[in-house]
Chains A and B, each alone.
Chain A
Amino acid sequence: MKKLWAFFLSLLLAFSLAGCGGSSSVGDNSYSASTSTGTLGMFSLVSPTLGATLEEVPSFSWSASENAAYYTLEIASSETFITNNDAYVYYKHDFIAETSYTISASLSQKNVTYYWKVTAHSGSKTSVANNVFHFFLKSVDKEEVAFPLGEASDWSIHEAGSPLSLSIDNSNFFENNQESLCLKFELEDTKPIGWIVVTKTVELDTYGTDSLYLRFFYSGDDATAFIRLRDNDGEFWRHKIQLASNSKQICIMPFSEFTQDTQLVTVNNHVFDYFHIKYLEIVFEQTWGDGACLVSEIKTIKKSNYSSLFIKNLNFKNYDTSLWKWENSYNFGTDISADGSSYTLHYDQDANALNTVGMALAVR
């Protein structure tokens, strides 16, 4: 009974205090809070200024709040500061002792409005600045964005996939003065059919570019290869690589030709947000045995800058046939049609007696 009286007494006292002290506080500034150690003073956001248009992520500054021990800065691409949603950017940094802060991370979405606010802290009390500012972050278009290969250890191998070894090849294999990532898999002794996924974190803005470019080489048993990208809102998009065994390929994959992976992966909006690539994957499926793959010079490009690599109509007459080379000195002639649109290969069993495995022609 004694304890029950003490509880009612303390409840009455609490309501009385709230009635006199709390009302004046709300009337002066609805965002401040009183504490026994002093009131957190009102403060304002300073820079970037309200409604600014910027091309780079700025430093953030605000005025001091009296009695503040530290501040929290929050930046979001949603006005309501949505968190844990790949479709929106949300950034938070706690325990800032000063009244300014430069974030180390890039804000991945461009051409959107960002909202930011600051909260002052003193013990368990908090006070939010009396305004929320916003600024517009413009994209800076680029001609090319390189995805560094890094070290072999920067790539992760899917643990459920087939055995694979990764290394960095320094032999200038593609004659582009760049290293290559070498994937070696040995499936003949393990499974009849295998698959492999290697992943590298990219986190790069690719504004202005419209295609993925890479150098690619594959030799070995039959396989199917893809490039898979994770876009800004976490969706997966893939593009098949048409394997030309034992040939150095330049692959240019327009983002418009990527298709979405929907099985067991994030799907937000079926839109390929390729302006920011979170990570890149090299995927092999239906690998029937051993294989060696080299990948180099991964970058996003403007396809129009590489138009010289494409031809609309193949005309064999545009090529110097004296430079044609057949593997193993086989010769299938140079029978080109009058309009140059077709080339007939003549198989001479006597001249090509050892040709039991097919033929290959390199046109330069």
Chain B
Amino acid sequence: MPYCPKAIVYYVGVNDIVNSGNDSATVITNVEKLLDDTHSKLPNAHIFYVYVNLLPGYFLGYTDTIKAVNAGLSTYIESRSWVEGVDAGKALLKSTGVADAGYFRLDNLHLSEYGYVVWSSVIKKALKAWLG
């Protein structure tokens, strides 16, 4: 590992759900392994895991799986001090709790440029709070 970062930010899991079609248990296991491996190689790095965003439109059918993945990973994260969960996707929800297509590209999967501004501002806030 050529670098010794103070912090690492991960946003992984969404493609495992919508492209690979994995169930929530498989995705949770894969992400937990990634986090464990990272921590074992970089024990001093603080890891931020950004929960999977809910998706609008065509991908609404994946909502339950995404919520199950986030819930499972939340339980894993809460019991470990070196990893922190960031719910940046909350900023992309409408008042009804459904993902707001206004923050996404027409594919309803990738964030629009403005969606990234809104989403990343939550991540930056979490990073700044930890880095001081």
Contacts and interface: CB of A to CB of B under 8 A. Distances in A.
A358 B110 CA distance: 13
Interface stretch (B23-31, B62-70, B73-81, B113-121): B113-121
B116 to A, nearest CB: 10
A220 interface: yes
A248 interface: yes
Contacts of B96: 186, 189
B114 A185 contact: no
B121 A189 contact: no
Contact of A289 (B101, B113, B121): B101
Nearest to A221: B101
Contacts of B94: 186, 189, 290
B102 A189 contact: no
Contacts of A171: 117, 121
B113 A188 contact: no
Given A292-B112, A292-B115, A219 B103 contact: yes
Contacts of B8: none
A254 interface: no
A61 to B, nearest CB: 55
A316 to B, nearest CB: 25
Contacts of A41: none
B100 A186 contact: yes
Interface string A210-224: 000000010111000
B107 A357 contact: yes
B104 interface: yes
A203 to B, nearest CB: 30
Given A171-B117, A186-B95, A189-B94, A246 B106 contact: yes
Nearest to B95: A186
A173 B117 contact: yes
Given A290-B56, A290-B94, A185 B102 contact: yes
Chain A interface size band reads 20 to 34
26 contacts: A171-B117, A173-B114, A173-B117, A185-B102, A186-B96, A188-B101, A189-B94, A219-B104, A219-B113, A219-B115, A220-B101, A220-B103, A221-B101, A245-B112, A246-B112, A248-B113, A289-B101, A290-B56, A290-B94, A290-B102, A291-B101, A292-B100, A292-B102, A292-B115, A328-B110, A357-B106
B102 to A, nearest CB: 4
Nearest to B117: A171
Chain B interface size band reads 20 to 34
Contacts of A245: 105-106, 112
B98 interface: yes
Interface in B81-112: 94-96, 98, 100-107, 110, 112
Contacts of B107: 357
Interface in A134-176: 169, 171, 173
A220 B104 contact: yes
Given A184-B100, A246-B105, 17 more contacts: A171-B117, A171-B121, A173-B114, A184-B102, A186-B95, A186-B102, A189-B98, A219-B103, A219-B112, A219-B115, A220-B101, A220-B103, A246-B112, A290-B94, A290-B101, A292-B100, A294-B114
A88 B94 CA distance: 47
A156 to B, nearest CB: 21
A293 B25 CA distance: 38
Nearest to A289: B101
Interface in A237-285: 245-246, 248
